[in-house]
Amino acid sequence: KRTVVLTMKASVIEMFLVLLVTGVHSNKETSKKIKRPKFTVPQINCDVKAGKIINPEFIVKCPAGCQDPRFHVYGTDVYASYSSVCSAAVHSGVLDNSGGKILVRKVAGLSGYKGSYSNGVQSLSLPRWRESFIVLESKPKKGVTYPSALTYSSSKSPAAQAGETTKAHQRPPIPATTAQPVTLMQLLAVTVAVATPTILPRPSPSAASTTSIPRPEPVGQRSQEMDLWSATTYTSSQNRPGADPGRVPKEELSTQSLEPVSLGDPNCKIDLSFLIDGSTSIGKRRFRIQKQLLAGVAQALDIGPAGPLMGVVQYGDNPATHFNLKTHMNSRDLKTAIEKITQRGGLSNVGRAISFVTKNFFSKANGNRSSAPNVVVVMVDGWPTDKVEEASRLARESGINIFFITIEGAAENEKQYVVEPNFANKAVCRTNGFYSFHVQSWFGLHKTLQPLVKRVCDTDRLACSKTCLNSADIGFVIDGSSSVGTGNFRTVLQFVTNLTKEFEISDTDTRIGAVQYTYEQRLEFGFDQYSSKPDILNAIKRVGYWSGGTSTGAAINFALEQLFKKSKPNKRKLMILITDGRSYDDVRIPAMAAHLKGVITYAIGVAWAAQEELEVIATHPARDHSFFVDEFDNLYQYVPRIIQNICTEFNSQPRN
């Protein structure tokens, strides 16, 4: 009997193990055949607001035509969730009016949202809102599953009206014939039965099927015994009302990997590019110290869409961008990326790198924001192997604030090898010491961290940022006809002086030129003749009264040819014309020529000037660009209004 019992036990165990292996193998084979469902991007309409969508992060497709002012947007860069998702995408520059795919990420609410005009969309201001969102290009994060169907806060969503499925939780169907693995509970049950010291009855076919292999179940039902993994891993999901205990919906799993997003420090909203030295001479150890400074800056700045953004360009023989402004939107990801940077080697061509950044880095496609100052921090080991002065001048004229950190400069016996003496002062935004750091040793580089962060965040002192007062070529076209008279002509010159005083004058900031006209025209001084405010003001005082007729049309043509033809490409061109009478010649064609050449024209008429003629000369809308005053002595009253209009127009357009 003992022999028979042991033989039967061995047979049962052997049979069970065969069935167990067969079941596992069958399950593996079946799972191979189950393909993952293809991710489909849900579509939404232009009027869908972010607050109506519950998902914390999602990819959607916007239709064309969302630039329409009917769809309201609140904020700049970071938007209140009361905004239209697709209109905000157009405002941010991620999409144009033709529509497309975007990634939307919910973030915390703000205490205030500032409106602005951008990309054909006028966003509005809002005091506060409970929730915000940012719009990014539709590049999914690794390891994050995005919903194929959105969850809306209302029972009947706009997407549902459009025929889109909006179920919150959908799972791909599992074929009903899928073999199920043997559970641990069933294994224990059989083991206990085998260990019982009695003669086992021969199992019937039905009994074997119920104890050894669970029968295939219809989709949506669960086996009677919960497996151990489900019981321990998904306990929290059992507490959700109506939830399937033991399973977490696909969308819920994806949101668990999303972490709170830092908006960044709003008191340091800058677009920052680090130009790091990757030349061969720097060596691996000093290159690593350089990266440590970058990581420290990334941590101290609190990177985020409402605060500073940072990219890195490495230079050697040629520059290369490691990542741009929109690649990393928080300090942690940025530090991780900095750690992975490897040294390129080569020469130390800093000038070429600065030119590269000016032309390529600060673009809308790379994440440049019109509302944030552009800042470049250049790190140099020793000295550059090319010249930096001309490249830096063009960068400053483009509104870029250049900082230089030079480490271990040339010794006395090495100065003969320096290509451009005093290169740092020729490159930086201003030579007042604010923009320059000289470090005696690489081991002291860490001491520059705090002062550097403090300076780049001091946006009030970033003097090279483009503003309405430092980025124009302004040409005054002054009527010197006989009807003006000597006394009134001096009053006109005082009006020109008062306007000029409001601007920042230098060869890289605003430049001033002047033309006087009667029947003929005379260039009093061009844009490149004087580069300081005192010199310009003295030149205005020296302009002599001419006297003669009034040919305003010919004067506009002369100014375009002799003055604005020599204007710099990256300067705003402003013509301020002052006249006291009707022109003897036609002004329509010359005025049209000025408009077509991008010259913004302000027309100021005094006494006998024809208002309809002023409106033809002035840039559209005429109400903002043409002014009439009855007496010369009242000209001064219009200085604040003209300056305000110039700045309002400038601030409504992208500045960098």
* Amino acid symbol at 92: S
Give the pLDDT mean for 390-404. Answer: 91
Contact 550, 579 (CB under 8 A): yes
Q: Which helix or strand (DSSP H or E) is residue 572 part of?
A: strand 572-579
Lowest mean pLDDT among 297-306, 405-414, 635-644, 645-654: 645-654
**One domain for residues 378 and 489:** no
| 472-479 vs 511-517, strand pairing mode | parallel
Q: Among residues 361, 419, 360, 415, which one has the least CA distance to residue 390? A: 419
Confidence class for position 497, pLDDT limits 50, 70, 90: very high
pLDDT exceeds cutoff 60 at 153? yes
Q: Which residue has the higher pLDDT, 519 or 206?
A: 519
**One domain for residues 394 and 508:** no
Rg, Å, the chain Cα set: 36
Q: Which helix or strand (DSSP H or E) is residue 100 part of?
A: strand 100-108
pLDDT score recorded for residue 390: 92
Confidence class for position 13, pLDDT limits 50, 70, 90: low
Number of domains in the chain: 3
**One domain for residues 493 and 450:** no
Give the pLDDT mean for 135-162. Answer: 72
Give the pLDDT mean for 307-319. Answer: 95
Full residue range of the structural domain in which residue 424 is found: 271-461
Count the alpha carbons within 13 Å of 242 in the hemisphere toward its beta carbon: 2
* Residue 108 belongs to a domain: yes
pLDDT exceeds cutoff 50 at 162? no
* Residue 122 belongs to a domain: yes
Tokens standing for residue 65: 């035509």
pLDDT score recorded for residue 193: 39
**One domain for residues 498 and 618:** yes
* Residue 257 belongs to a domain: no
**One domain for residues 452 and 489:** no
Question: 552-562 and 588-596 are packed helices; what angle lies between their axes, rounded to 10 degrees?
Answer: 30
pLDDT 10s digits, 76-100? 999 999 999 999 999 998 999 999 9
Count the alpha carbons within 13 Å of 550 in the hemisphere toward its beta carbon: 19
* Residue 453 belongs to a domain: yes
Confidence class for position 216, pLDDT limits 50, 70, 90: very low
Domain CATH for 58: 2.170.130.20
Q: Maximum CA pair distance of the chain?
A: 138
Burial class (CB in 10 A: 0-12, 13-18, 19+), 520: middle
**One domain for residues 476 and 372:** no
CA distance 192 to 196: 7
Q: Among residues 630, 619, 635, which one has the least CA distance to residue 498? A: 635
Angle at 83 between CA 77 and CA 87, to 5 degrees: 70
Domain CATH for 555: 3.40.50.410
* Residue 224 belongs to a domain: no
Q: Which of 410, 428, 461 is the last residue of a domain?
A: 461
Question: 486-501 and 639-651 are packed helices; what angle lies between their axes, rounded to 10 degrees?
Answer: 40
Give the pLDDT mean for 373-377. Answer: 95
**One domain for residues 578 and 629:** yes
Q: Which helix or strand (DSSP H or E) is residue 599 part of?
A: strand 599-606
**One domain for residues 360 and 334:** yes
Q: Among residues 405, 579, 380, which one has the least CA distance to residue 478? A: 579
What value does the mean pLDDT of the chain take? 80
Confidence class for position 10, pLDDT limits 50, 70, 90: low
CA distance 599 to 577: 12
pLDDT 10s digits, 30-53? 444 455 556 789 999 999 999 999
Q: Which residue has the higher pLDDT, 19 or 321?
A: 321
**Length of the chain measured in residues:** 656
pLDDT score recorded for residue 12: 57
> Which residues, in sequence order, are CB contacts of 630 under 8 Å at separation 6+?
606, 607
Give the pLDDT mean for 339-349. Answer: 94
**One domain for residues 524 and 648:** yes
* Residue 70 belongs to a domain: yes
357 DSSP 8-state letter: I
Count the alpha carbons within 13 Å of 329 in the hemisphere toward its beta carbon: 20
pLDDT exceeds cutoff 70 at 253? no
* Residue 37 belongs to a domain: no
pLDDT exceeds cutoff 60 at 493? yes
**One domain for residues 276 and 367:** yes
Which alpha helices (DSSP H) does 60-123 contain, by range?
85-92
Q: Which of 433, 461, 489 is the last residue of a domain?
A: 461
**One domain for residues 395 and 508:** no
Tokens standing for residue 461: 């002192």
Q: Which of 137, 163, 193 is the last residue of a domain?
A: 137
pLDDT 10s digits, 577-611? 999 999 999 999 999 999 999 999 999 999 999 99
* Residue 193 belongs to a domain: no
CA distance 85 to 65: 13
Q: Which residue has the higher pLDDT, 423 or 416?
A: 423
**One domain for residues 447 and 513:** no
Contact 58, 104 (CB under 8 A): yes
